[in-house]
Structure 1
């Protein structure tokens, strides 16, 4: 796939998600991936768009006063939860892309900043940037989190994401992310299906490739654990099939219907917890 077309389609898809509202769907998805009722009610109601594939904060173990960066922060879901763990002396920074020539994604950053105002979260900020080239100084973060975003980066640029993680972490800093990885090699009818790409499946890397990205960036190793979560929640949680902010829901978010019909997401991909430390 052409990388510029991939970015365009991803932006269109998630701009649509930023405008959509289906609180019941978003709650079901978040709960399916480990978020508690207490967590979901503690953040602005418009921060959860149902785009998760895990709960990276359960792995991050954030501490008071730390700086955390969220790669692909969307409307701020994990950023606002992180802000509560790091306290007033910490910093929670969300990074979301918004590039000249792709104006639709303005909706996502605008929504995130409105949520910040609603939450009165003084320790939260949002940065307009692709996660392949983050506009922040070296050694900024104690922890980097991400939730179902790295799989959306075109394969030709995925290594840049891991390079940025390494650059932005302080020595001893950690990566704690949730992402969808391929269980086996994806066939062309899935790999080349843009609806399944923006739905977080077609762009998923295999475990061995993901490990190599970490090593190439400078990390000694990474621990990856399959959560065995049901990825079909993206379709079973849907109510009307229209305008739902989805990760895997393929008939919504203004994306075309996939060529691969009746895809069982669990057959091809899984939700993984991923952890690495910068030496």
Structure 2
């Protein structure tokens, strides 16, 4: 991120995810999770309020977890993937979540306290560049849309920690947002875009190099093709937002004179030429400001404030990453 030091990045990320920890938009979280590959059955098997809609993939889909294994989730948040992993590991396994945010950890532990059969779940405070666990603890390490939040200078340390924590033959199964090309200044310099997992996205080649330098083999990095605009186009109710595309100089939406309201074409910020609804109440419902990216309960949508007509998929993608410690 241009002209931003590591301390500022960590502070901004901490503030953003403390706010996210207070989210109650369950329907929003369900829509985002399903768009990134979680099944309805998976979502029904875990506490609903552990899913804050912060995923960018489903790392468990490539983790091949087995009963009795130990899994460490780097950047576990409210415990979404930890709770799901625990259902696959059985009572003899362990699911350990690592997070630096006190508010997220408090939420995860509060949820844990209300669930049955949770003895195989643990949440620990720690920076993912220096995890407070012994070497060779894990059979598998997962992470979901978190490594891109680490300042560039610290990213290699994350992969070294993964290698240290894994047993021989252990595997990495990560979902993350990576850059398809250099980001324009309007995105790379935006703090909201950094905490929203966009501005800090690494190039695929960098990610692979860091994994190999840390000692991993059999590295596979694949673009899932998932639509990242889901963050921007989903409301608190889990449904696609409407938008008002009337030019600033147009008559007021409730005047029935001119304004154009519709559902946006995904990623384009464009609308059809249908006239605004003449009824004031209908117009108000239709013409929510296009730039509004915060559901009614105040949860900041992960992608932050995006410049008009920006298609996130043009610059970044949702990738699945797999690697093995030899």
In the superposition, the TM-score normalised over structure 1's length comes to 0.92
1:84 aligns with 2:87: yes
CA contact 2:294–2:300 (8 Å) conserved in 1: no
Partner of 2:319: 272
Match of 1:224 among 207, 221, 225: 221
- Runs of 4 or more, structure 1, over 6 Å off, are none
Task: Trace 1:8-87 onto structure 2 (pairs within 5 A).
Answer: 8-87=11-90
Offset, 1:232? 0.1
1:166 paired residue number: 163
Q: 1:213 to 1:221 in 2, by over 3 A?
A: farther
Deviation, 1:36, is 1.0
Give me the CA root mean square deviation: 1.2
Counterparts of 2:41 and 2:171, CA distance in 1:
26
Q: Which runs of 5+ in 1 are unaligned?
A: 98-104, 251-256
**C-alpha contact (below 8 Å) 1:73/1:94 kept by paired residues:** yes
| Structure 2 unpaired stretches of 5+ | 237-292
Question: 1:96 aligns to what?
Answer: 99
State the distance in 2 between where 1:263 and 1:69 align: 35
CA deviation map 1:107-166 (0-9, x unaligned): 211000011111231100011001000000000000000000000000010000000000
* Mapped partners of 1:207, 1:14: distance in 2: 25
Match of 1:112 in 2: 108
**Residue matched to 1:157:** 154
**Quick one: distance in 1 between partners of 2:188 and 2:216?**
28
Taking the aligned partners of 2:35 and 2:205, their CA distance within structure 1 comes to: 26
Which secondary structure state, in structure 2, belongs to the residue aligned with residue 208 of structure 1? helix
Q: 1:234 deviation in Å? A: 0.2
Report the Cα offset of residue 213 of structure 1: 0.6
1:203 match = 200
SS at match of 1:176: strand
In proportion to residue count, which structure has more helix?
1
- Residue 119 of structure 1 aligns to a residue whose secondary structure is coil
Cα distance in 1 for partners of 2:301, 2:89 equals 29
What corresponds to 1:247 in structure 2?
Answer: 302
> 3-state DSSP class of the match of 1:60?
coil
Contact preservation (8 Å) 2:171, 2:323:
yes
Q: When the two structures are aligned, how many residues end up with a matched partner?
A: 264
- Whether contact under 8 Å (1:21, 1:245) holds in the other structure is no
User: Quick check: which has more Rg, 1 or 2?
Assistant: 2
Match of 1:148? 145
Distance in 1, Cα, partners of 2:44 & 2:301 = 20
